[in-house]
Amino acid sequence: MSTFIQQLINGITLGSVYALISLGYTMVYGIIKLINFAHGDIFMVGAYIAYLSVTYLKLGLIPSLILSMTFCSVLGMLIEKFAYKPLRNSPRISALITAIGVSLLLENLMQIIMGADSRVFPRLVDEKNYHLLQGRIVVNNKQIYLLIITILLMIILNFVVKKTKIGKAMRAVSQDMDAARLMGINVDTTISYTFAIGSALAAAAGVLVGLYYNTINPLMGVLPGLKAFIAAVFGGIGIIPGAMLGGFSLGIIETLVSGYGSSMYKDAVAFALLILILIIKPSGLLGKNIKEKV
Protein backbone atom coordinates (compact mmCIF):
# COMPACT_ATOMS: atom_id res chain seq x y z
CA MET A 1 0.00 0.00 0.00
CA SER A 2 2.86 2.40 0.79
CA THR A 3 4.32 1.81 -2.69
CA PHE A 4 0.94 2.57 -4.25
CA ILE A 5 0.56 5.82 -2.27
CA GLN A 6 4.13 6.86 -3.14
CA GLN A 7 3.53 6.27 -6.86
CA LEU A 8 0.21 8.09 -6.59
CA ILE A 9 1.97 11.16 -5.16
CA ASN A 10 4.62 10.98 -7.89
CA GLY A 11 1.86 10.60 -10.50
CA ILE A 12 0.01 13.68 -9.29
CA THR A 13 3.27 15.64 -9.53
CA LEU A 14 3.93 14.48 -13.09
CA GLY A 15 0.26 14.88 -13.98
CA SER A 16 0.39 18.53 -12.90
CA VAL A 17 2.89 19.23 -15.68
CA TYR A 18 0.86 17.34 -18.27
CA ALA A 19 -2.31 19.12 -17.16
CA LEU A 20 -0.78 22.60 -17.54
CA ILE A 21 0.53 21.84 -21.03
CA SER A 22 -2.64 20.06 -22.19
CA LEU A 23 -4.75 23.06 -21.16
CA GLY A 24 -3.07 25.06 -23.92
CA TYR A 25 -3.77 22.32 -26.47
CA THR A 26 -7.41 22.04 -25.50
CA MET A 27 -8.07 25.80 -25.36
CA VAL A 28 -6.67 26.41 -28.84
CA TYR A 29 -8.47 23.38 -30.26
CA GLY A 30 -11.72 24.46 -28.63
CA ILE A 31 -11.52 27.87 -30.32
CA ILE A 32 -10.13 27.26 -33.82
CA LYS A 33 -9.93 23.43 -34.04
CA LEU A 34 -6.13 23.55 -34.41
CA ILE A 35 -3.77 21.05 -32.80
CA ASN A 36 -0.83 23.32 -32.00
CA PHE A 37 2.13 20.93 -32.05
CA ALA A 38 4.45 23.87 -31.33
CA HIS A 39 2.92 24.10 -27.86
CA GLY A 40 5.44 21.69 -26.32
CA ASP A 41 8.28 23.88 -27.54
CA ILE A 42 6.76 26.96 -25.92
CA PHE A 43 7.00 24.88 -22.73
CA MET A 44 10.73 24.51 -23.50
CA VAL A 45 11.16 28.25 -24.18
CA GLY A 46 9.52 29.02 -20.84
CA ALA A 47 12.07 26.85 -19.04
CA TYR A 48 14.96 28.65 -20.77
CA ILE A 49 13.57 32.12 -20.01
CA ALA A 50 13.38 31.17 -16.33
CA TYR A 51 16.93 29.79 -16.53
CA LEU A 52 18.22 33.08 -17.99
CA SER A 53 16.28 35.22 -15.52
CA VAL A 54 17.68 33.29 -12.55
CA THR A 55 21.24 33.02 -13.90
CA TYR A 56 21.72 36.57 -15.17
CA LEU A 57 19.02 38.68 -13.50
CA LYS A 58 19.27 36.83 -10.15
CA LEU A 59 15.49 36.57 -9.82
CA GLY A 60 13.69 34.17 -7.51
CA LEU A 61 11.11 31.52 -8.30
CA ILE A 62 7.97 33.66 -8.51
CA PRO A 63 9.51 36.62 -10.47
CA SER A 64 11.12 34.12 -12.89
CA LEU A 65 7.80 32.33 -13.26
CA ILE A 66 5.96 35.58 -14.01
CA LEU A 67 8.63 36.75 -16.48
CA SER A 68 8.60 33.41 -18.26
CA MET A 69 4.80 33.34 -18.52
CA THR A 70 4.73 36.93 -19.82
CA PHE A 71 7.39 36.28 -22.46
CA CYS A 72 5.70 33.11 -23.69
CA SER A 73 2.30 34.83 -23.77
CA VAL A 74 3.72 37.37 -26.21
CA LEU A 75 5.49 34.59 -28.14
CA GLY A 76 2.23 32.65 -28.41
CA MET A 77 0.37 35.68 -29.77
CA LEU A 78 3.13 36.37 -32.31
CA ILE A 79 3.08 32.77 -33.51
CA GLU A 80 -0.70 32.92 -33.90
CA LYS A 81 -0.58 36.23 -35.77
CA PHE A 82 2.19 35.40 -38.24
CA ALA A 83 1.95 31.60 -38.61
CA TYR A 84 -1.67 30.57 -38.02
CA LYS A 85 -3.87 33.59 -38.73
CA PRO A 86 -3.03 33.73 -42.48
CA LEU A 87 -4.10 30.07 -42.74
CA ARG A 88 -7.35 30.36 -40.80
CA ASN A 89 -9.52 29.72 -43.85
CA SER A 90 -7.16 27.14 -45.35
CA PRO A 91 -7.55 23.35 -45.00
CA ARG A 92 -6.68 22.07 -41.52
CA ILE A 93 -3.74 20.09 -42.85
CA SER A 94 -2.03 23.37 -43.85
CA ALA A 95 -2.23 24.73 -40.30
CA LEU A 96 -1.10 21.37 -38.90
CA ILE A 97 1.99 21.30 -41.12
CA THR A 98 2.71 24.92 -40.15
CA ALA A 99 2.50 23.98 -36.46
CA ILE A 100 5.09 21.25 -36.98
CA GLY A 101 7.27 23.77 -38.84
CA VAL A 102 7.00 26.29 -35.99
CA SER A 103 7.93 23.52 -33.54
CA LEU A 104 11.10 22.68 -35.47
CA LEU A 105 11.91 26.39 -35.83
CA LEU A 106 11.75 26.97 -32.06
CA GLU A 107 13.83 23.88 -31.31
CA ASN A 108 16.58 24.78 -33.78
CA LEU A 109 16.63 28.46 -32.82
CA MET A 110 17.10 27.50 -29.19
CA GLN A 111 19.94 25.15 -30.14
CA ILE A 112 21.61 27.97 -32.08
CA ILE A 113 21.17 30.51 -29.28
CA MET A 114 21.78 28.34 -26.19
CA GLY A 115 23.60 25.33 -27.63
CA ALA A 116 22.44 21.74 -27.96
CA ASP A 117 23.79 20.52 -24.62
CA SER A 118 21.65 20.15 -21.52
CA ARG A 119 22.00 22.83 -18.87
CA VAL A 120 21.66 22.54 -15.12
CA PHE A 121 18.68 24.54 -13.91
CA PRO A 122 19.59 26.78 -10.94
CA ARG A 123 18.42 25.63 -7.51
CA LEU A 124 15.63 28.02 -6.53
CA VAL A 125 14.50 26.29 -3.34
CA ASP A 126 16.35 24.32 -0.70
CA GLU A 127 15.41 20.68 -1.13
CA LYS A 128 13.71 19.05 1.81
CA ASN A 129 12.05 15.65 2.20
CA TYR A 130 9.09 14.88 4.43
CA HIS A 131 8.77 11.29 5.63
CA LEU A 132 5.28 9.91 6.24
CA LEU A 133 4.04 6.57 7.61
CA GLN A 134 7.27 5.85 9.44
CA GLY A 135 9.43 6.82 6.49
CA ARG A 136 7.75 4.54 3.94
CA ILE A 137 6.41 7.52 1.96
CA VAL A 138 8.61 10.46 0.98
CA VAL A 139 7.22 13.80 -0.19
CA ASN A 140 9.65 16.38 -1.55
CA ASN A 141 9.04 20.09 -0.98
CA LYS A 142 9.52 20.60 -4.75
CA GLN A 143 6.50 18.36 -5.33
CA ILE A 144 4.50 20.51 -2.93
CA TYR A 145 5.56 23.73 -4.69
CA LEU A 146 4.73 22.21 -8.06
CA LEU A 147 1.26 21.07 -6.99
CA ILE A 148 0.39 24.33 -5.21
CA ILE A 149 1.42 26.49 -8.19
CA THR A 150 -0.48 24.20 -10.57
CA ILE A 151 -3.67 24.37 -8.51
CA LEU A 152 -3.41 28.17 -8.19
CA LEU A 153 -2.96 28.56 -11.96
CA MET A 154 -5.94 26.30 -12.63
CA ILE A 155 -8.10 28.30 -10.21
CA ILE A 156 -7.04 31.53 -11.94
CA LEU A 157 -7.77 30.00 -15.35
CA ASN A 158 -11.21 28.85 -14.21
CA PHE A 159 -11.95 32.36 -12.93
CA VAL A 160 -10.81 33.95 -16.21
CA VAL A 161 -12.90 31.59 -18.34
CA LYS A 162 -16.05 31.70 -16.20
CA LYS A 163 -16.12 35.24 -14.79
CA THR A 164 -14.27 37.66 -17.08
CA LYS A 165 -15.33 39.34 -20.31
CA ILE A 166 -12.57 37.72 -22.35
CA GLY A 167 -13.47 34.32 -20.88
CA LYS A 168 -17.10 34.73 -21.94
CA ALA A 169 -15.90 35.76 -25.39
CA MET A 170 -13.72 32.64 -25.58
CA ARG A 171 -16.67 30.43 -24.69
CA ALA A 172 -18.85 32.18 -27.25
CA VAL A 173 -16.28 31.81 -30.04
CA SER A 174 -15.76 28.14 -29.20
CA GLN A 175 -19.51 27.55 -29.52
CA ASP A 176 -20.06 29.43 -32.80
CA MET A 177 -17.45 31.74 -34.27
CA ASP A 178 -19.78 33.34 -36.84
CA ALA A 179 -22.54 34.00 -34.31
CA ALA A 180 -20.00 35.48 -31.89
CA ARG A 181 -18.76 37.81 -34.62
CA LEU A 182 -22.32 38.93 -35.35
CA MET A 183 -22.81 39.69 -31.65
CA GLY A 184 -19.88 42.14 -31.76
CA ILE A 185 -17.13 39.95 -30.35
CA ASN A 186 -13.69 40.61 -31.80
CA VAL A 187 -12.83 37.04 -32.81
CA ASP A 188 -9.21 37.78 -33.75
CA THR A 189 -8.50 39.36 -30.36
CA THR A 190 -10.20 36.48 -28.58
CA ILE A 191 -8.06 33.93 -30.41
CA SER A 192 -4.90 35.92 -29.57
CA TYR A 193 -5.83 35.94 -25.88
CA THR A 194 -6.44 32.20 -26.04
CA PHE A 195 -2.94 31.60 -27.39
CA ALA A 196 -1.52 33.96 -24.77
CA ILE A 197 -3.18 32.15 -21.86
CA GLY A 198 -2.31 28.69 -23.18
CA SER A 199 1.32 29.69 -23.79
CA ALA A 200 1.59 31.19 -20.30
CA LEU A 201 0.43 27.91 -18.75
CA ALA A 202 2.94 25.96 -20.86
CA ALA A 203 5.71 28.33 -19.73
CA ALA A 204 4.73 27.75 -16.09
CA ALA A 205 5.00 24.00 -16.68
CA GLY A 206 8.47 24.50 -18.18
CA VAL A 207 9.65 26.44 -15.13
CA LEU A 208 8.25 23.80 -12.77
CA VAL A 209 9.93 20.98 -14.70
CA GLY A 210 13.24 22.83 -14.53
CA LEU A 211 12.75 23.31 -10.80
CA TYR A 212 11.85 19.67 -10.22
CA TYR A 213 14.30 17.84 -12.52
CA ASN A 214 17.15 20.42 -12.40
CA THR A 215 17.98 20.04 -16.10
CA ILE A 216 16.73 21.56 -19.35
CA ASN A 217 17.57 21.10 -23.04
CA PRO A 218 16.25 22.39 -26.40
CA LEU A 219 14.35 19.15 -27.12
CA MET A 220 12.77 18.83 -23.69
CA GLY A 221 9.35 19.87 -25.00
CA VAL A 222 8.93 17.13 -27.61
CA LEU A 223 7.87 14.17 -25.48
CA PRO A 224 5.96 16.13 -22.79
CA GLY A 225 4.17 17.95 -25.61
CA LEU A 226 3.05 14.67 -27.15
CA LYS A 227 2.07 13.30 -23.73
CA ALA A 228 0.04 16.44 -23.01
CA PHE A 229 -1.72 15.99 -26.35
CA ILE A 230 -2.58 12.42 -25.32
CA ALA A 231 -3.87 13.78 -22.00
CA ALA A 232 -6.05 16.33 -23.81
CA VAL A 233 -7.52 13.66 -26.10
CA PHE A 234 -7.97 11.28 -23.15
CA GLY A 235 -9.94 13.83 -21.14
CA GLY A 236 -11.80 15.26 -24.12
CA ILE A 237 -9.95 17.75 -26.31
CA GLY A 238 -11.61 21.15 -26.35
CA ILE A 239 -12.88 20.71 -22.77
CA ILE A 240 -10.88 22.42 -20.00
CA PRO A 241 -11.87 20.05 -17.15
CA GLY A 242 -11.07 17.17 -19.51
CA ALA A 243 -7.52 18.46 -19.99
CA MET A 244 -7.01 18.61 -16.23
CA LEU A 245 -8.46 15.13 -15.72
CA GLY A 246 -6.47 13.70 -18.61
CA GLY A 247 -3.21 15.24 -17.40
CA PHE A 248 -3.49 13.92 -13.85
CA SER A 249 -4.75 10.53 -15.06
CA LEU A 250 -1.87 10.07 -17.50
CA GLY A 251 0.70 11.08 -14.88
CA ILE A 252 -0.69 8.57 -12.38
CA ILE A 253 -0.87 5.79 -14.99
CA GLU A 254 2.75 6.36 -16.03
CA THR A 255 4.11 6.30 -12.48
CA LEU A 256 2.11 3.19 -11.62
CA VAL A 257 3.53 1.45 -14.69
CA SER A 258 7.04 2.53 -13.63
CA GLY A 259 6.49 1.45 -10.02
CA TYR A 260 4.91 -1.94 -10.64
CA GLY A 261 6.47 -2.76 -14.00
CA SER A 262 9.32 -0.93 -15.69
CA SER A 263 9.95 2.69 -16.64
CA MET A 264 10.86 1.41 -20.12
CA TYR A 265 7.17 0.72 -20.80
CA LYS A 266 5.61 3.98 -19.60
CA ASP A 267 5.87 5.75 -22.98
CA ALA A 268 4.47 2.72 -24.79
CA VAL A 269 1.55 2.60 -22.35
CA ALA A 270 0.84 6.31 -22.91
CA PHE A 271 0.64 5.93 -26.69
CA ALA A 272 -1.31 2.69 -26.37
CA LEU A 273 -3.77 4.63 -24.23
CA LEU A 274 -4.19 7.17 -27.04
CA ILE A 275 -4.97 4.42 -29.53
CA LEU A 276 -7.37 2.77 -27.10
CA ILE A 277 -9.30 5.95 -26.32
CA LEU A 278 -9.58 6.80 -30.04
CA ILE A 279 -11.06 3.35 -30.70
CA ILE A 280 -13.41 3.14 -27.71
CA LYS A 281 -14.42 6.77 -27.09
CA PRO A 282 -12.89 9.22 -29.59
CA SER A 283 -14.52 12.21 -27.86
CA GLY A 284 -12.61 11.48 -24.62
CA LEU A 285 -13.79 10.82 -21.09
CA LEU A 286 -15.73 14.09 -20.70
CA GLY A 287 -16.46 14.67 -24.38
CA LYS A 288 -19.80 14.10 -26.06
CA ASN A 289 -20.36 12.60 -29.49
CA ILE A 290 -22.02 15.26 -31.63
CA LYS A 291 -23.90 14.14 -34.72
CA GLU A 292 -23.74 16.45 -37.68
CA LYS A 293 -26.52 16.65 -40.21
CA VAL A 294 -25.47 16.41 -43.83
**Nearest alpha carbon to residue 172 among 186, 158, 152:** 186
Neighbours of 30 (CB within 10 A): 22
User: pLDDT tens digits for 79-122?
Assistant: 999 999 999 888 888 999 999 999 999 999 999 999 999 999 99
Q: What is the mean pLDDT of residues 258-263?
A: 83
pLDDT of residue 292: 45
- The structure's pTM equals 0.92
Q: Is 62 buried (19+), middle (13-18) or exposed (0-12) by CB count in 10 A?
A: exposed
pLDDT band at 254 (very low <50, low <70, confident <90, very high): very high
pLDDT of residue 198: 94
pLDDT of residue 81: 93
pLDDT of residue 83: 94
pLDDT band at 288 (very low <50, low <70, confident <90, very high): low
* d(C-alpha 219, C-alpha 224), whole Å: 10
Residues 6+ apart with CB under 8 A from 62: none
Strand partners, 140: 129
pLDDT of residue 90: 87
pLDDT band at 4 (very low <50, low <70, confident <90, very high): confident
pLDDT of residue 258: 87
Question: In angstroms, what CA-CA distances link 135 with 32, 131, 141, 171, 215?
Answer: 49, 5, 15, 47, 28
Looking at the predicted structure, is the pLDDT value of residue 135 above 80? no
Q: Is 155 buried (19+), middle (13-18) or exposed (0-12) by CB count in 10 A?
A: exposed
Q: Of the given ranges (16-30, 197-211, 233-247, 278-292), which has the lowest mean pLDDT?
A: 278-292
Pair 249, 12: CB distance under 8 Å? no
pLDDT band at 237 (very low <50, low <70, confident <90, very high): confident
pLDDT band at 291 (very low <50, low <70, confident <90, very high): low
pLDDT of residue 44: 96
Percent of the chain with pLDDT over 70: 98
User: pLDDT tens digits for 144-169?
Assistant: 999 999 999 999 999 999 999 999 99
Domains of the chain: 2-280 (1.10.3470)
User: pLDDT tens digits for 194-231?
Assistant: 999 999 999 999 999 999 999 999 999 999 999 999 99
